[in-house]
Amino acid sequence: MQDAAPAPADAPPEAGLRDRKKEAKRAAIIAAAQAEFIAHGFAEARLARVAARAGVAKGTLYLYFDSKEALFDAVLRGALPLIFAPPEAADPGIPPQTAFRLRLRAAIADMQASGRDKLALIVLSESAQFPGLARIYLETILEPLFGLVRDYARSSGVARLEPLTRYPQLLLAPMLAATMWNRLMTERPPLDLPELLETHLTLVLGPPEGEPAPLTG
Amino acid sequence: MQDAAPAPADAPPEAGLRDRKKEAKRAAIIAAAQAEFIAHGFAEARLARVAARAGVAKGTLYLYFDSKEALFDAVLRGALPLIFAPPEAADPGIPPQTAFRLRLRAAIADMQASGRDKLALIVLSESAQFPGLARIYLETILEPLFGLVRDYARSSGVARLEPLTRYPQLLLAPMLAATMWNRLMTERPPLDLPELLETHLTLVLGPPEGEPAPLTG
Amino acid sequence: MQDAAPAPADAPPEAGLRDRKKEAKRAAIIAAAQAEFIAHGFAEARLARVAARAGVAKGTLYLYFDSKEALFDAVLRGALPLIFAPPEAADPGIPPQTAFRLRLRAAIADMQASGRDKLALIVLSESAQFPGLARIYLETILEPLFGLVRDYARSSGVARLEPLTRYPQLLLAPMLAATMWNRLMTERPPLDLPELLETHLTLVLGPPEGEPAPLTG
Amino acid sequence: MQDAAPAPADAPPEAGLRDRKKEAKRAAIIAAAQAEFIAHGFAEARLARVAARAGVAKGTLYLYFDSKEALFDAVLRGALPLIFAPPEAADPGIPPQTAFRLRLRAAIADMQASGRDKLALIVLSESAQFPGLARIYLETILEPLFGLVRDYARSSGVARLEPLTRYPQLLLAPMLAATMWNRLMTERPPLDLPELLETHLTLVLGPPEGEPAPLTG
DNA sequence: CATGAATGAGGCTTCATTCAT
DNA sequence: TATGAATGAAGCCTCATTCAT
């Protein structure tokens, strides 16, 4: 019911104070919920904790979301648009392989920074209860990434890479696996995702052509 | 309490009928629980269903296991020994790369056949609640597989493969990812794990040397 | 608190526009509430729906009524005066039995037309919570009707009808029962209340004396 | 689910103690629920109170009934069989009108004694939420009573009574109305249902033929 | 050993009522 | 005066766990 976002991010400037506060609260709830879901998964997440973290009463949650599931849905949808932001007009002088690597690198860094990689795990693992969400997730996040890989493999003209057009997963799987690894192995030093990505890309695609050094220290 | 396995598989021959029956019931419970956990995950698993599937009363479960968590633990431990069975004395005439591929292929096929790949997902995803189990899982299943990969990468002498000694995950990640994929995408045709493995190995290691054709139709 | 009607229907003519608007809104709320109570009963009635139907905000309801119960009270009181409207100066030429029948017929038709028969059921059935209201209802609606019956039975001089002076309910009960019946049996053709009344009166009082044919087609 | 009564009243004599106790508890719960529903109606009935009255924990209710609604259903069904007990082989020497009156008298007395008349009111008034139950009630209780009336009206051969074959409600409505009356008018002396019935029957059917004096004081 | 009825804490959700704007 | 977002008590229901038989 209240699920259709009541006010888009780019609301008219004269949007009432009322609406702005509502939107802020909505955002606070989603943020609290995201933290809760990441920390406990869906089944073990407690709406009482979400409400407490968001600084509202339990009942208030239901002014914004119809159910726990709808809240989870909103967290995911809130996360989605950010994941695969516009391509940012690739610099023309850059060689395609470099551009490709930059794109992937940015996507991975973004997911990690926002904690949405953890959300992905939750969707993937508790998907039995959310077939709908799972599909959304795949279509909205994974498919575009796969498309990126496919396009590159196809346009590169390298025969060795042909399998990637059929199984783009092969290039991305380590990111997923590493995310899991880091979630699990809290006792060991976490895997460095960017470095792992780089290593994997080099292993599969070959060493990078002269490209700008990564910014990440 | 009852967690120490009351009777190892190789019980003394004079073990009474009593013990054998007890052991059989214990096994039945574990089997039922495994099916339940695979079907629903930990949080959504219902002990009532486990008892029903095992053909015992709910209370009986507690004669064998202290809690739901202990039962999950037992399921995992029950699955562990099978996963990484003895190397089956590699045929000496076979070239090392071929032997390596055969080993991996067998391990993957075994996990898939037994449904234990699904269990892995559960551990990985609900690990927030089971840090202990997660570590067991990693040490007992993943580490040996990683060792296999490391050994091969090191002994192969191929410089390109050096990263695999640092990140053996890179070679195995697609199996995990594909398992997830298949769990999620029940609407699409499932990925063929053996084929995916083969493709990945070829992509990373190069085409297989003359080796016996896979037995799998 | 606000229960003392803020402005009687016959307010002084110089009553400000303000008051008139207030009164209109009050009436709108009562009308909406009546519809809601008839449709759902007291317990299942939702003030949110009442507010929506009345075109006001939920909080506004509390500017006019102290509580859900007070609103119900107001609905009932609002309905009462209409139910037993002035006798409309019985035509002198008409024989008493005919006049009596006309009166009853009018009262029944009025209740049915206004939907207040349904309200009666609600009072009667949920009276456990509203002993006060129940009494009002009886005194304001039923007693006058009973009086009518008693008067007739007494003045008719027919010995057979003497019991009606003690139990005037006997003559009116079928109307109540039929209202219930119609509320329940939505699947079957509804009972025709006027006809049922006529039949009952004939059964108990005997056939009508030459009277004007009923206007109802 | 558990709704089909797990053990009929005439269980085999060797029925285990377990079953007998279960059945007793089931009966206790139904009795407690009946009291609660009669006292508060369906919507305001509290399962916590039912459990307390029955001397069980709240959760226990759900071992016997799937939901509040199912419990209500069971209360009703539990009441049904008693309501219209076997005709008890009418004494052949008794004139038909007398037999008819006896039957009605017994049915009314039975309903009143068991408190099931109050239940009827609840069904009738809260039927909006329970169309299914309402139909059961009508078919199981009212229709048989109507049949009784119709049969009598038809077989009596009295022309005046012909309307009763079309509207058997007319003969029974006062009982319903009086039940309501008594529920409402807790401050006034309650109507004497048997006497009211007698009066009504006399009013409509004429004075009773020489019959055994009613047993009720 | 086995049973399965019983428990009760705790989860999600609803909604009459309040109050800052 | 009017709004509608916010509250929080309270309801129904679930299910891991216990215990009398």
pLDDT digits (tens, 9 = 90+) for B107-144: 888 888 877 788 888 887 777 777 777 777 777 778 88
pLDDT at C79: 72
Closest by Cβ to C44, choosing from D129, D163, D202:
D129
C-alpha torsion angle, residues D124, D128, D131, D136 (rounded to 10): -10
Cβ contacts of C92 within 8 Å, gap of 6 or more = none
Q: Tell me the mean pLDDT in the region C142-150.
A: 87
pLDDT at D17: 66
pLDDT at D25: 93
Q: Tell me the mean pLDDT in the region C40-47.
A: 90
Residue D65 three-state SS: coil
CA of B65: nearest nucleotide by C1' is: F17
By the CB < 8 Å criterion, does C56 face chain D? Answer: no
% of residues, chain C, pLDDT over 70: 83
N-to-C CA span, chain C: 47
Q: Report the nearest residue to nucleotide E11, CA vs C1'.
A: A46
**Residue C117 — pLDDT band, cuts 50, 70, 90?**
confident
Q: Tell me the mean pLDDT in the region B185-195.
A: 83
HEC letters along B113-144? HHCHHHHHHHHHHCHHHCHHHHHHHHHHHHHH
List bases in chain F with any atom under 7 Å of a protein Cβ. Answer: 1-21
pLDDT at B179 > cutoff 50? yes
Between B6 and B31, whose confidence is greater? B31
Give the CA-to-C1' distance from B59 to F19 in angstroms. 10
CA distance A43 to A72: 11
The type of residue at C61 is L
Residue A206 three-state SS: coil
Q: Among B41, B40, B9, B39, which residue's Cα sits nearest to residue B26?
A: B9
pLDDT at A163: 92
CA of B57: nearest nucleotide by C1' is: E3
Establish whether chain C is in contact with chain D, requiring a minimum of 3 CB pairs below 8 angstroms. Answer: yes
pLDDT at D1: 43
Between A119 and C170, whose confidence is greater? C170
Between C7 and C103, whose confidence is greater? C103
Measured in whole angstroms, the distance separating CA C1 from the mean position of its chain's CA atoms is 26
Q: For residue C141, give how far its alpha carbon lies from the nearest alpha carbon of chain D (Å).
A: 13
Nearest CA in chain A to B130: A184
Q: For residue D182, give how far its alpha carbon lies from the nearest alpha carbon of chain C (Å).
A: 10
Q: Tell me the mean pLDDT in the region B68-75.
A: 92
Q: Among B96, B109, B94, which residue's Cα sits nearest to residue B195?
A: B109
- Helix, strand, coil fractions of chain D, as percent rounded to 5: 70, 0, 30
Measured in whole angstroms, the distance separating CA B90 from the mean position of its chain's CA atoms is 21
Query: Could you tell me the mean pLDDT of each successive run of 10 residues in chain A, 217 residues long?
Result: 44 58 91 92 92 96 95 84 56 81 85 80 76 76 85 89 91 87 79 90 83 48
Q: How many residues does chain D have?
A: 217
pLDDT at A117: 81
> Could you tell me the pTM of the whole model?
0.80
Residue-wise pLDDT tens digits, B99-116: 888 888 888 888 888 777
Q: Report the nearest residue to nucleotide F3, CA vs C1'.
A: C57
Q: Which two tokens stand for residue C69?
A: 């119960």
DSSP for C143-180, please give it.
Answer: HHHHHHHHHHHHHH--GGGHHHHH-THHHHHHHHHHHH
CA distance A130 to A43: 12
Contact D47, D55 (CB under 8 A): no
Measured in whole angstroms, the distance separating CA D54 from the mean position of its chain's CA atoms is 22
Work out the mean pLDDT of chain C and round it to a whole number: 81
Residue-wise pLDDT tens digits, C9-41: 444 555 577 677 888 999 999 999 999 998 888
pLDDT at C7: 43
List bases in chain E with any atom under 7 Å of a protein Cβ. Answer: 1-21
By the CB < 8 Å criterion, does B80 face chain A? Answer: no
pLDDT at B200: 92
Between B57 and D184, whose confidence is greater? B57
Q: Tell me the mean pLDDT in the region C129-135.
A: 74
Low-confidence ranges of chain D (pLDDT < 70): 1-18, 79-91, 210-217
- Residue carrying the six token digits 């099978």: B82
Contact B188, A169 (CB under 8 A): no
pLDDT at C6: 46
Residue-wise pLDDT tens digits, A30-48: 999 999 998 888 888 999 9
Contact B61, B47 (CB under 8 A): yes
CA distance C93 to A68: 73
Closest by Cβ to D174, choosing from C161, C169, C196:
C169
Between D62 and C210, whose confidence is greater? D62
Contact C123, C182 (CB under 8 A): no
Q: Which two tokens stand for residue B153?
A: 């990468």
Work out the mean pLDDT of chain D and round it to a whole number: 80
Cβ contacts of D188 within 8 Å, gap of 6 or more = none
Interface contact flag, D126 C167, Cβ < 8 Å:
no
Report the neighbours of B using a cutoff of 3 or more CB pairs below 8 angstroms: A
pLDDT at D3: 45
Q: Which two tokens stand for residue C203?
A: 């059964």
Residue C94 three-state SS: coil
Between C83 and B157, whose confidence is greater? B157
CA distance B178 to A15: 47
Phi, psi of C14 (to 5 degrees): -80, 5
Phi, psi of C4 (to 5 degrees): -60, 115
Interface contact flag, C125 D128, Cβ < 8 Å:
no
CA distance B95 to B211: 8
The type of residue at D213 is A
Burial of B113 (0-12, 13-18, 19+ CB in 10 A): exposed
Contact C81, C166 (CB under 8 A): no
